[in-house]
Structure formats: structure tokens, C-alpha cells
């Protein structure tokens, strides 16, 4: 088992009396891409700001590669690259000047600055815009400069806050590839409210709602689905209760006349359903397996919020 | 590290036309003033020769020039300091510095050093005018040195106050106006005059230009130096505390 690079323990953050995040705990291993998912205002950005040392936690601890962010901020921050929601770029300087400044801020030895800039520019596709003013670049390029700034000192932990906001689909794809390639050697925390992004880039997903962690699983297990459902259509009308009696079936709901959605337990197979349908002559003519996507899960989990409020 | 930030500050100032315009305008106005003073010195010269213990060219030309310069710069320095932190906050670039392995003090000192470097350039350019007097006469070198140091200290104090007020807001205009107001208040605080005789000495000790005046006259008092250093250190500490506090809010 590898040691956790980022360790967050019981983290809370209050704005005046309102809790933006409360009692958040999670950890991140080396080489893992963690997707941080939540509706707007759930506390994603606050969490990122606390981890990166831009905000002080009200309670709890954050440590990066074993260094506490409050007790040893310098050691912790040297292990960290952070892209905030708005890329922190100086519009009046050129890409090269800006990256040089960032390299110096991160104490890269002066004989290695030039090679670090070249490398990061290649990595982020900035080679051709090195001499241009950042203010004149498109949003997508500014975002890339922001990412370049976060990885120029080759940190083991990279935190990206909504890196694909405002980009066109091609740029989004490129940035995702970039994030994937980062994840092969570094640990990445990625916050977003775009669900497909998490499925495309992350190893693990955490859903946060109103400052609390409500879901934490690997995207791999999500693909297999923790609960499978099948939509069936029958020529004969039967009672939904009959379906529930079948082995492995947890729940069944009537959609319209002759159509049902049947939920199975995690390891159950719909064999019995087919067998019974044939034996009892229900006239089964359609059967569509439904995989629970992240989107369903997200809506299901965040929907509770409204129920809770009522 | 402080030096890295200071260098970026200075280059940012000279990347925008702001620094150039300010230097050009001040130099032009004070150049004109210098010539007028020089002219009146030539008019007075015959009368001065008849007096014993006469004021020299430094007292008649340079001291009044720098008095005017101090007042003009009191209005101009807020424009130089207003963007230093407020602008970073507005453009959300402050988090670049905060997430880098730097302490708040290094960030603030770097910003301040950048301003001080600009001040050194500005005052050195102004001092070229008195130095040109060496071509035709022999001004009082000790007095010129005292004037140079006095201008540096005065403007460094202006900059520290401006830096602090810039850290309080995201809005450059608010930073500039409040800095100007504070500096003006520190200037006129001793104008209450004889009406409050008790508080007079305290109020006149607080006045920022009062301490400057003695240095312009060539009196280099440690109490004046202490006043400026206390002012500078005080406002720098306040700035560091302000930025640290913002992480807690």
C-alpha cells in the first residue's frame, strides 16, 4: 500500500457562521486522479483553496506529502501545484516571462529554468505562443498557461479547479488528455460539475453536497454498477408484485401498460426472469439492460437535498 | 525570493505607461520650477552679497524645489501604490503568490521593495537637477545628501501607507483615494495651530512633512529617521497581518 500524498482529516470551513464544508475526510494516493464532483456551491472550490493553503481551515488538518499545511506551509506548498478557478495569469506579460516568474517563485535552480519552461510549454501545447501577451490569448490558451504554471516545478500533487470551464469541445478533449497524462506520474485532484469529465479522466470520484462528502468510489466500480436494472416489455398484463417474488429481484416499478423496470441485486442475473416469463407465457418481447451512469447517481444523490429541505 | 517579486513589480510598472508618464510629468513640472527658482536666485544674488551669513544656492534653489516636489508626490504616490495588491486581488492572481512556497512577509516585502526601487529611480532623477548646479557653482554637498535621503524616506513612508491601503480593497480607485486622504491628513494634522496649545507638540510630531522639512534644511535628526522607520515598519506589519487575516475570513 502506497502512502497517501494528500491527507485530509475532519476538515471544516466556516464563512461567518455558515459552514461551506464540514467534517470532510479523504486521502489521495500517488498516481491517482480524483474527481471532485458537486452541484454549484457545494464547497468544491473552498476545499481546493483550503488544501492549497489559500484559505485557512476552521477545523481539521490537511497534510501534503506528510507536511501539515498550517505548521509547515513552505514544505507543503513546494509539493503542490494549484490552478484556481480563474487562472492566475498576468495579462500584461508574455507567456515566457510569466512562466519564468513562476519558475523562480517555485525556487527552480536558475540553470534549470529554461529547460523547465521548454518542457512545460511542450507538455501544454504552448510552444507557439511563448512570445505573445497572455491578455491577447484565447480563454483556452490562458487556461493552458494556468495549468503550465501549476506543473512547472514538477510537483507530486496537482490541484485543478474546474480546468475545462469555458473551453470549446476540442480544447476540452486536449485538456482531458493532458490531465490523463499528468495522472500517470502525479496525483491529481480535479473539481468539476461536468459528469462525463469525471468518467473520462478520473480513477476515483467523490461527490460532495452542501459541504459533506456523500459518495466515494472508484470510477471502475461505477461502470460495473452497484445495482443493475432491466427494462422489460410484456404482451400480457401482470402484476408488478409477481416480478418482485422472483429470486434476485429487489424492486420493480410499472412504467406503462406492460412495461416494467426491474431492479436486481448487485450479483444477481436476470436468468430467472426470462425463464419464468417463458414458462408462464408472459409474452416477453423486449429486454433492455440499463446501466446506472454517474449522472443517475449524481442526480439521485443530489436530489435528496431537495427532499431534505422539504 | 523577495527580489524575484520586486523585479516583477518594477517590470510591471514600466510595462504599463503609468510609470513613464508619472516620471515624465513630474520631471517636466519640477524642471520648470527649478528654472524659476534659479532665475529668482540670480535676481537676489546682488542683494545677498551684501548680507553676512547669507543663505547659499542650495537653500534658495533646492530646498523650495523639494518642498514642492514633496507635495506633488503626495498626490502622485497613491497612483503608484494603488495597484500593487488591489490589482492582484481583482485579477485573482494573488493566489499564484500565496500557493507558491513563500511566506506572506516575503510577498509583502517583495511588493514593497519593488515600490522602493521605483522611488529610488524617481528621486535620483529629481536629484539630477540640483547636481547640475555643480557645473557653475559649488552647492552644499552635505545638504544635498540630506535632501536626497529625506526624499527617499518620505516617499518610502508614502509607499508603505499606500501598500497597506491597497491590501484592504479590490478597487484601485478606493485604494488611491484613501491613500491620498491619509497622506493629506498626515500632512495637515499640525495645522490646528495655537487653538489647541496642549496637543500642539504631539500633533506636530505626527505631521509627515514636518519631519521632512528639517531634513530639507540639512538637519539630519535621529528622531526624524525613527519616525519614518516606525511608520514604514508599522504599515508593512499591518499589510502582512491583513493578508494573513484574509485567509481566515
Domain boundaries, chain A: 4-223, 227-291
Of the candidate ranges A4-13, B163-172, B202-211, B230-239, the one whose mean pLDDT is the lowest: B202-211
| Banded model confidence at residue B163, pLDDT cuts 50, 70, 90 | very high
CB contact under 8 A, A91 and B91: yes
Give the pLDDT mean for B205-229: 86
- Quote the minimal CA–CA distance from B246 to chain A in Å: 8
Strands A284-290 and A80-83, bridge-based pairing: unpaired
| Cα–Cα distance for residue pair A72/A70, rounded to 1 Å | 6
CB contact under 8 A, B99 and A54: yes
CB contact under 8 A, B91 and A90: yes
| Cα–Cα distance for residue pair A272/A293, rounded to 1 Å | 25
pLDDT score at A308: 55
Regarding predicted confidence, which is higher, A279 or A117?
A117
| Banded model confidence at residue A1, pLDDT cuts 50, 70, 90 | very low
Q: Is the pLDDT of residue A3 over 70?
A: no
Report the Cα B134 to chain-centroid distance in Å.
25
CB contact under 8 A, B1 and A107: yes
Give the pLDDT mean for A218-244: 73
Residue A92, classified by CB atoms within 10 Å of its CB into exposed (0-12), middle (13-18) or buried (19+), is: middle
A94 forms bridges with which residues in the sheet?
A: A133
> Over A26-77, what HEC string results?
EEEECCCEEEEECCCCCCHHHHHHHHCCCCCCCEEEEEECCEECCCCHHHHH
| Banded model confidence at residue B114, pLDDT cuts 50, 70, 90 | very high
CA angle A154, A156, A158 (to 5 degrees): 85
Q: Which residue out of A52, A56, A88 would a mutagenesis test of the B interface target, given it has the greatest number of B Cβ atoms within 10 Å?
A: A88
Residue of B12, B102, B247 with shortest CB distance to A54 = B247
CB contact under 8 A, A86 and B92: yes
Residue of B1, B11, B99 with shortest CB distance to A52 = B99
pLDDT score at B162: 95
User: Do A103 and A64 touch, CB atoms closer than 8 A?
Assistant: no
Of the candidate ranges A23-27, A120-124, A303-307, the one whose mean pLDDT is the lowest: A303-307
Backbone angles phi, psi at A3, to 5 degrees: -75, 145
The CATH class given to the A227-291 domain equals: alpha beta
Regarding predicted confidence, which is higher, B167 or B200?
B167
Give the pLDDT mean for B11-35: 91
pLDDT score at A291: 63
Q: Is the pLDDT of residue A266 over 70?
A: no
CB contact under 8 A, B247 and A56: yes
pLDDT score at A41: 79
Total CB pairs under 8 A between chain A and B: 71
Q: Is the pLDDT of residue A140 over 90?
A: no
Q: Which residue out of A105, A106, A133 would a mutagenesis test of the B interface target, given it has the greatest number of B Cβ atoms within 10 Å?
A: A105
- Say if B102 is an interface residue toward chain A (CB within 8 Å): yes
CB contact under 8 A, B94 and A88: yes
Q: Please tell me whether residue A83 adopts helix, strand or coil conformation.
A: strand
Which residues in chain A have their CB less than 8 angstroms from residue B91's CB? 86, 88, 90-91
pLDDT score at A284: 84
Regarding predicted confidence, which is higher, A282 or B153?
B153
Helix (H) or strand (E) holding A160: strand A157-161
User: Do A301 and A210 touch, CB atoms closer than 8 A?
Assistant: no
pLDDT score at B182: 94
- The order of strands in the sheet holding A212-218 is A80-83, A157-161, A187-192, A33-37, A204-209, A212-218
Q: Is the pLDDT of residue A234 over 90?
A: no
Burial annotation B31-62 (CB, 10 A radius, 16+ → b, else e): eebbeebbeebeeeeeeeeeeeeeeebbbbbb
| Banded model confidence at residue B138, pLDDT cuts 50, 70, 90 | confident
- Quote the minimal CA–CA distance from B89 to chain A in Å: 10
Report the residue of chain B nearest A91, measured CA to CA: B91
Fold of A4-223: Rossmann fold (3.40.50)
Q: Please tell me whether residue A179 adopts helix, strand or coil conformation.
A: helix
- pLDDT of B39-60, one tens digit each? 988 888 888 777 777 777 888 8
- pLDDT of A150-203, one tens digit each? 999 889 999 999 888 777 788 888 888 888 888 877 889 988 877 777 877 888
Give the pLDDT mean for A73-93: 90
Q: Please tell me whether residue B178 adopts helix, strand or coil conformation.
A: helix
CB contact under 8 A, B96 and A54: no
- pLDDT of A91-116, one tens digit each? 888 999 999 999 999 999 989 999 99
Amino acid at each position: 500500500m502506497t502512502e497517501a500524498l494528500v491527507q485530509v482529516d475532519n476538515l471544516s470551513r466556516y464563512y461567518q457562521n455558515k459552514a461551506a464544508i464540514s467534517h470532510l475526510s479523504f486521502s489521495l494516493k500517488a498516481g491517482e486522479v480524483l474527481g471532485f464532483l458537486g452541484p454549484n456551491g457545494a464547497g468544491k472550490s473552498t476545499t481546493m483553496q483550503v488544501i492549497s493553503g489559500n484559505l485557512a481551515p476552521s477545523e481539521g488538518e490537511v497534510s501534503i506529502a506528510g507536511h501539515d499545511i498550517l505548521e509547515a506551509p513552505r514544505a507543503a506548498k513546494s509539493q503542490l501545484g494549484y490552478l484556481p478557478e480563474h487562472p492566475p495569469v498576468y495579462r500584461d506579460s508574455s507567456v515566457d516571462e510569466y512562466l519564468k516568474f513562476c519558475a523562480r517563485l517555485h525556487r527552480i535552480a536558475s540553470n534549470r529554468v529554461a529547460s523547465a519552461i521548454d518542457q512545460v510549454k511542450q507538455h501544454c501545447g504552448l510552444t507557439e505562443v511563448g512570445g505573445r501577451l497572455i491578455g491577447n490569448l484565447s480563454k483556452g490558451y490562458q487556461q493552458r498557461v494556468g495549468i503550465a504554471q501549476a506543473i512547472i516545478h514538477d510537483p507530486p500533487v496537482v490541484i485543478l479547479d474546474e480546468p475545462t470551464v469555458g473551453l470549446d469541445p476540442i480544447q476540452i478533449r486536449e485538456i482531458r488528455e493532458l490531465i490523463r497524462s499528468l495522472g500517470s506520474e502525479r496525483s491529481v485532484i480535479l473539481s468539476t460539475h461536468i459528469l462525463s469529465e469525471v468518467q473520462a479522466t478520473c480513477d476515483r470520484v467523490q461527490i460532495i453536497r452542501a459541504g459533506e462528502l456523500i459518495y466515494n468510489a472508484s470510477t471502475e466500480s461505477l461502470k460495473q454498477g452497484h445495482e443493475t436494472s432491466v427494462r422489460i416489455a410484456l404482451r400480457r398484463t401482470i402484476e408488478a408484485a409477481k416480478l418482485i417474488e422472483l429470486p434476485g429481484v429487489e424492486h420493480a416499478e410499472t412504467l406503462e401498460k406492460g412495461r416494467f423496470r426491474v431492479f436486481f441485486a448487485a450479483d444477481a442475473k436476470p436468468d430467472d426472469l426470462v425463464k419464468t416469463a417463458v414458462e408462464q407465457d408472459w409474452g416477453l418481447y423486449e429486454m433492455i439492460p440499463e446501466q446506472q451512469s454517474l449522472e443517475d447517481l449524481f442526480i439521485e444523490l443530489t436530489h435528496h437535498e431537495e427532499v431534505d429541505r422539504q | 525570493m523577495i527580489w524575484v517579486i520586486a523585479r516583477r513589480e518594477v517590470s510591471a510598472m514600466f510595462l504599463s505607461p503609468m510609470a513613464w508618464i508619472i516620471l515624465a510629468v513630474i520631471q517636466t513640472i519640477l524642471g520648470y520650477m527649478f528654472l524659476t527658482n534659479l532665475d529668482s536666485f540670480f535676481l537676489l544674488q546682488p542683494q545677498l552679497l551684501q548680507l553676512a551669513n547669507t543663505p547659499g544656492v542650495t537653500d534658495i534653489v533646492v530646498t523650495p524645489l523639494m518642498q514642492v516636489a514633496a507635495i506633488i508626490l503626495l498626490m502622485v504616490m497613491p497612483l503608484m501604490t494603488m495597484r500593487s495588491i488591489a490589482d492582484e486581488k481583482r485579477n485573482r492572481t494573488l493566489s499564484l503568490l500565496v500557493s507558491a512556497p513563500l511566506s506572506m512577509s516575503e510577498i509583502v516585502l517583495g511588493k514593497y521593495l519593488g515600490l522602493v526601487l521605483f522611488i529610488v529611480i524617481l528621486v535620483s532623477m529629481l536629484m539630477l537637477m540640483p547636481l547640475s548646479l555643480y557645473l557653475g557653482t559649488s552647492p552644499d554637498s552635505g545638504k544635498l545628501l540630506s535632501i536626497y535621503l529625506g526624499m527617499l524616506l518620505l516617499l518610502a513612508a508614502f509607499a508603505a501607507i499606500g501598500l497597506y491601503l491597497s491590501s484592504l480593497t479590490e478597487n484601485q480607485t478606493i485604494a488611491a483615494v484613501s491613500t491620498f486622504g491619509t497622506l493629506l491628513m498626515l500632512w495637515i494634522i499640525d495645522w490646528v495651530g495655537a487653538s489647541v496649545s496642549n496637543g500642539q507638540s504631539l500633533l506636530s510630531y505626527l505631521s509627515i512633512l514636518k519631519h521632512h522639512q528639517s531634513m530639507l534644511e540639512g538637519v539630519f535628526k535621529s528622531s526624524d529617521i525613527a519616525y519614518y522607520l516606525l511608520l514604514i515598519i508599522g504599515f508593512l506589519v499591518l499589510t502582512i497581518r491583513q493578508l494573513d487575516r484574509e485567509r481566515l475570513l
